């Protein structure tokens, strides 16, 4: 149920990171669906670390495992250079 960690066509490195963590913890079905929903709502293409941080912040507001994954992705985004003031 989890995908192999290889980039899909037109995937940025930040999209790969988000997809991997979402599907490993939440499962392929829920993980991919939630990823698409939030990115579509934010009009977010995960091109930069700040984009990843913006995505992760919304995810972190959700309960249980979804929120925990959001928290992890926030840290990942910061480690890759995101500046919270700009995201």
Cα(7)–Cα(39) distance, integer angstroms: 17
Number of residues that bind another protein (CB under 8 A): 15
Cα(17)–Cα(6) distance, integer angstroms: 10
Identity of the residue, 1 or 4, whose beta carbon is nearer to another protein in the bound complex: 1
Cα(72)–Cα(57) distance, integer angstroms: 10
Question: Does 68 participate in binding another protein (rule CB under 8 A)?
Answer: yes
Question: Does 21 participate in binding another protein (rule CB under 8 A)?
Answer: yes
Judged by the rule CB under 8 A, the positions of this chain that interact with another protein are 1, 21, 24-27, 29-30, 65, 68-69, 72, 75-76, 79
């Amino acid at each position: 149920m989890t995908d192999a960690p290889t980039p899909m066509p037109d995937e940025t490195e930040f999209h790969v990171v988000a997809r991997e963590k979402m599907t490993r913890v939440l499962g392929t079905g829920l993980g991919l669906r939630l990823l698409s929903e939030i990115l579509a709502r934010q009009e977010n293409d995960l091109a930069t670390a700040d984009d990843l941080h913006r995505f992760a912040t919304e995810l972190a507001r959700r309960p249980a495992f979804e929120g925990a994954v959001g928290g992890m992705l926030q840290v990942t985004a910061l480690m890759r250079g995101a500046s919270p003031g700009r995201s």
